[in-house]
A and B are shown apart, each in its own frame.
Chain A
Amino acid sequence: METLLQQIINGLVVGSVYALIALGYTMVYGILGLINFAHGDILMVGALVALQVISFLQEHFPTMSPVLMLLIGLVVAALACMILGYVIERTAYRRLRNAPRLAPLITAIGVSFLLQTLAMIIWGRNYHNFPQLISTAPLQPVEGVFITPVQIIILISSALLMGGLILLVNKTRLGRAMRATAENHKVASLMGVDTNRIISTTFIIGSGLAAVAGVMFSSNYGVAHYAMGFTPGIKAFTAAVLGGIGNLGGAMLGGVVLGLVESIGAGYLGTATDLCNLPHWLQWASLTQTCSNGGSFELLSSNYQDIFAFVILGIVLIFRPTGLLGERVSDRA
């Protein structure tokens, strides 16, 4: 039971980081129909900028409170990524807005390589120790189940950010303009919406969220690295598709579901497919021998944890091609 609870906590923490990143993918897709593959690398830039700022503060203002340091690092990182997101949209994507869909997609992959290589030149190839300014000493809310203060903060702050974003999109003038642009660029601009500005704003918000996710990721694991954006980027993209790409609620649900599926999959896939659980009369001789003395013969082990997540994605897409919460969108003009 503790193990299951622990796996759920693990899954929620990873899932809420995925969800934050997935929001950036889904917002851009919703408005432009573009899959911004450079999004994962913006997360990496966020983490490394925060690392740089925090190291600077630690060196020059050693008496500053750690939480304040982290906040300053976070704000600077978010600002840097917002500018970066704006610049990428302005220089790499805007000119291709009316090009065939493949062109901006390839450009996005190119931007991703560019960011990684630049980061490698600036910050080097080594893994950096990310200062863990919030305690990682585990707390035990229930006997045998552990959660660290960092993880609690990740859960709360990502929930707040996601809630804030939903409010922004559904309740404000800016949000209304964003929804209008998503529905139809041309008509929205005829209605007096400055669509270029709205698209820039979307990139800026998405990049800011990615920076926050990057700082959370690094604070939790204590490492930062120039290629760290790739895996969470791919996972978050999967989460966005799982939830229904283009749908904000879907990205959040997809992130959390993916996190849970991965963690429960890695935890139980092996035990569930352990052939030693077969009734005795079904076991062959060499298997019984392997199983004796507490051995196990796992058909699918944690070796398959990533495959498992993608199998779930495949199954969902077969039965709901638009994802869990995706709606049928009318074709863009």
Chain B
Amino acid sequence: MNKTLIAFGVFACCAGMAQAQEAVVKIGHVGPLTGNIAHMGKDNENGARLAIEEYNAKGVTIGGKKVKLELVGEDDAADPKTGNIVAQRLVDAGVKGVVGHLNSGTTIPASRIYNQAGIPMISPSSTNVTLTQQGFPYIFRTMANDAQQGSVIGKFAATKLGKKVAIIDDRTSYGQGLADEIDKGVKGNGGQVTSREFTNNQATDFMAILTKIKSQNPDVIVYSGMDAQGGPMLKQIKQLGIKAKFVTGDGGCTPEFIRLAGDAANETTYCTQAGLPVSQLADKTFKARFVKRFGVDIQNYAPYSYDAAAALIEAMKAAGSSEPAKYLPALKKIHFKGVTGDVAFDDKGDTKYGAITVYGYKAGAWEPIKP
């Protein structure tokens, strides 16, 4: 009896010593792990986790000392209130950097907390322009923002699909912001905006605004909003005998949109999504490594989450310190090859190499096309 106790004591002492030799650097991750889009939150967390595990396996040395990286995962349930609570919890836990959050709606309020605490935060998937326009030096993202996406949609519509473009948005901060950028993109590329129409994110009937649009005979109708409205809207476009092509942003770039649009979706239906499709990632083995480690497929943003975590670690290595204030200058200047391609940030914290992919409808699915 006594012997086992002593043995246990010896074991405990040595495990403690081993830890003392190898400093632990905590990196936080936040995304919704419960609720409607829990699968996307888990996907982001998996991306960050894979990055940390792979760096640990290779061995990380910061400022001449060997360190062990540790992921602290939190759940914000896609809710701004919860997002702020878990952000504060990560700050209190002493994380040295944060990957997250997923939704712009939770990322923007939480970004203030990280910035005040002086902890760098890199969002892999929040696209609202506001995030990086708050003048917060500690806030970054690896995903192209809505302004970049809007100008791609505008250019694509005006140069590839036809000169006359009608734009509908759902008056949410996402829909409205994106529509304004699309408007600029169309006009900047020699197109004409025949009308801007508006609906809301509860609506199911779009016949009145579509009838008005029809009277102006546009070549393209762009919807800036979510799939739940976009799908039924496309149906009603066909019911009114409108021949215009249809484009929607990332809110509609989902299998759900295709399901709701049914027969109305066809070869003249397009959508755009920030980021690259998995088949076009710079790191060709990423998908295989991801699937091998987690046993599930990549949902959306895991590669961007991986690169966000990698950017934090690369900056710590370059600065020779895991102290946020010390490695922040290195993070601002970072430039490395991530799994999505080149990773670097501009002076606002937006990605310099943000890709936008245009998808076209083909046989019941979205397929990336060359814009």
Q: Which of B226-244 contact A (CB under 8 A)?
A: 228, 231-232, 235-236, 238-241
Compute how far the CA of A282 lies from the CA of B192 in the bound complex, rounded to whole angstroms: 24
Q: Does B267 count as interface, using CB distance less than 8 angstroms?
A: no
The reply to whether B192 and A293 contact each other, CB–CB distance below 8 Å, is: yes
Instruction: Give chain A residues whose Cβ lies under 8 Å from the Cβ of B351.
Output: none
CB distance from A275 to the nearest CB of B (A): 14
Residues in B lying within 8 Å of A, measured CB to CB: 36, 171, 192-200, 202-205, 207-209, 211-212, 214-215, 228, 231-232, 235-236, 238-241, 256, 259-260, 262
Select B205's contact among A7, A138, A221, beta carbons within 8 Å: A221
Q: Known contacts being A138-B240, A221-B235, A301-B197, is A6 close to B211, with CB within 8 Å? A: yes
The reply to whether A127 and B262 contact each other, CB–CB distance below 8 Å, is: no
The winner among A6, A13, A126, A231 for most chain B CB atoms within 10 A is A6
- Can you identify 5 A-B contacts, CB atoms within 8 angstroms? A3-B212, A11-B208, A127-B231, A228-B204, A265-B208
Compute how far the CA of A266 lies from the CA of B235 in the bound complex, rounded to whole angstroms: 19
Instruction: Give chain B residues whose Cβ lies under 8 Å from the Cβ of A223.
Output: 204, 228, 231-232, 260
The reply to whether A10 and B198 contact each other, CB–CB distance below 8 Å, is: no
With A223-B204, A293-B192 given, name 19 new contacts (CB 8 A). A3-B215, A11-B208, A125-B36, A146-B239, A146-B241, A148-B239, A223-B231, A230-B202, A263-B208, A263-B211, A265-B208, A267-B211, A270-B197, A271-B212, A298-B196, A301-B196, A301-B198, A305-B198, A306-B200
Compute how far the CA of A225 lies from the CA of B232 in the bound complex, rounded to whole angstroms: 12
Compute how far the CA of A238 lies from the CA of B172 in the bound complex, rounded to whole angstroms: 25
Compute how far the CA of A266 lies from the CA of B259 in the bound complex, rounded to whole angstroms: 28
The reply to whether B240 and A146 contact each other, CB–CB distance below 8 Å, is: yes
Residues in A lying within 8 Å of B, measured CB to CB: 2-3, 6-7, 10-11, 13-14, 125-127, 129, 132, 136, 138, 140, 146, 148, 217, 221-223, 225, 227-228, 230-231, 262-268, 270-271, 293-296, 298, 301-303, 305-306
Compute how far the CA of A293 lies from the CA of B196 in the bound complex, rounded to whole angstroms: 16
Instruction: Give chain B residues whose Cβ lies under 8 Å from the Cβ of A11.
Output: 208
Instruction: Give chain A residues whose Cβ lies under 8 Å from the Cβ of B259.
Output: 129
Q: Known contacts being A3-B215, A14-B207, is A222 close to B196, with CB within 8 Å? A: no
Instruction: Give chain B residues whose Cβ lies under 8 Å from the Cβ of A264.
Output: 208
The reply to whether B256 and A270 contact each other, CB–CB distance below 8 Å, is: no
Instruction: Give chain B residues whose Cβ lies under 8 Å from the Cβ of A222.
Output: 232, 235, 260, 262
Compute how far the CA of A107 lies from the CA of B203 in the bound complex, rounded to whole angstroms: 26
Compute how far the CA of A267 lies from the CA of B198 in the bound complex, rounded to whole angstroms: 11
The reply to whether B208 and A266 contact each other, CB–CB distance below 8 Å, is: yes
The reply to whether A302 and B228 contact each other, CB–CB distance below 8 Å, is: no
Compute how far the CA of A136 lies from the CA of B208 in the bound complex, rounded to whole angstroms: 17
Instruction: Give chain A residues whose Cβ lies under 8 Å from the Cβ of B256.
Output: 126-127
The reply to whether B260 and A302 contact each other, CB–CB distance below 8 Å, is: no
Complex A-B, nearest 7 residue pairs according to Cβ-Cβ distance, in ascending order: A266-B208, A10-B207, A263-B208, A3-B215, A303-B198, A267-B212, A146-B241
Count of inter-chain pairs, beta carbons less than 8 A: 103
Select A10's contact among B36, B203, B208, beta carbons within 8 Å: B208
Instruction: Give chain B residues whose Cβ lies under 8 Å from the Cβ of A228.
Output: 204
Instruction: Give chain A residues whose Cβ lies under 8 Å from the Cβ of B197.
Output: 270, 301-302
Chain B residue nearest to A264 (CB atoms) is B208
CB distance from A131 to the nearest CB of B (A): 10
Instruction: Give chain B residues whose Cβ lies under 8 Å from the Cβ of A217.
Output: 204
The reply to whether A7 and B208 contact each other, CB–CB distance below 8 Å, is: yes
CB distance from B175 to the nearest CB of A (A): 12
Select B207's contact among A2, A132, A263, A301, beta carbons within 8 Å: A263
Compute how far the CA of A86 lies from the CA of B215 in the bound complex, rounded to whole angstroms: 47
The reply to whether A302 and B202 contact each other, CB–CB distance below 8 Å, is: no
Chain A residue nearest to B215 (CB atoms) is A3
Select A302's contact among B209, B214, B232, beta carbons within 8 Å: B209
The winner among B195, B198, B204, B241 for most chain A CB atoms within 10 A is B204
Instruction: Give chain B residues whose Cβ lies under 8 Å from the Cβ of A140.
Output: 241
CB distance from B210 to the nearest CB of A (A): 9
The reply to whether A266 and B232 contact each other, CB–CB distance below 8 Å, is: no
Q: Known contacts being A10-B208, A221-B235, A263-B207, is A296 close to B195, with CB within 8 Å? A: yes
Select A294's contact among B194, B198, B204, beta carbons within 8 Å: B194
Compute how far the CA of A225 lies from the CA of B201 in the bound complex, rounded to whole angstroms: 13
Compute how far the CA of A221 lies from the CA of B233 in the bound complex, rounded to whole angstroms: 9
The reply to whether A3 and B214 contact each other, CB–CB distance below 8 Å, is: yes
Instruction: Give chain A residues whose Cβ lies under 8 Å from the Cβ of B203.
Output: 231
CB distance from A325 to the nearest CB of B (A): 25
Compute how far the CA of A146 lies from the CA of B240 in the bound complex, rounded to whole angstroms: 6
Chain A residue nearest to B235 (CB atoms) is A222
The reply to whether B209 and A266 contact each other, CB–CB distance below 8 Å, is: yes
The reply to whether A227 and B207 contact each other, CB–CB distance below 8 Å, is: no
The reply to whether B241 and A138 contact each other, CB–CB distance below 8 Å, is: yes
The reply to whether B239 and A136 contact each other, CB–CB distance below 8 Å, is: yes
Chain A residue nearest to B171 (CB atoms) is A303
The reply to whether B239 and A138 contact each other, CB–CB distance below 8 Å, is: yes
CB distance from B212 to the nearest CB of A (A): 5
Compute how far the CA of A271 lies from the CA of B211 in the bound complex, rounded to whole angstroms: 13
Compute how far the CA of A136 lies from the CA of B234 in the bound complex, rounded to whole angstroms: 13
Instruction: Give chain A residues whose Cβ lies under 8 Å from the Cβ of B195.
Output: 270, 296, 298, 301
Q: Known contacts being A6-B240, A129-B259, A270-B195, is A302 close to B215, with CB within 8 Å? A: no
Compute how far the CA of A293 lies from the CA of B36 in the bound complex, rounded to whole angstroms: 45
Instruction: Give chain B residues whose Cβ lies under 8 Å from the Cβ of A266.
Output: 208-209, 212
The reply to whether B208 and A302 contact each other, CB–CB distance below 8 Å, is: yes
Select A7's contact among B202, B204, B211, B241, beta carbons within 8 Å: B211
Instruction: Give chain B residues whose Cβ lies under 8 Å from the Cβ of A3.
Output: 211-212, 214-215
Q: Known contacts being A14-B207, A231-B203, is A294 close to B235, with CB within 8 Å? A: no
CB distance from B141 to the nearest CB of A (A): 28
Compute how far the CA of A294 lies from the CA of B194 in the bound complex, rounded to whole angstroms: 7
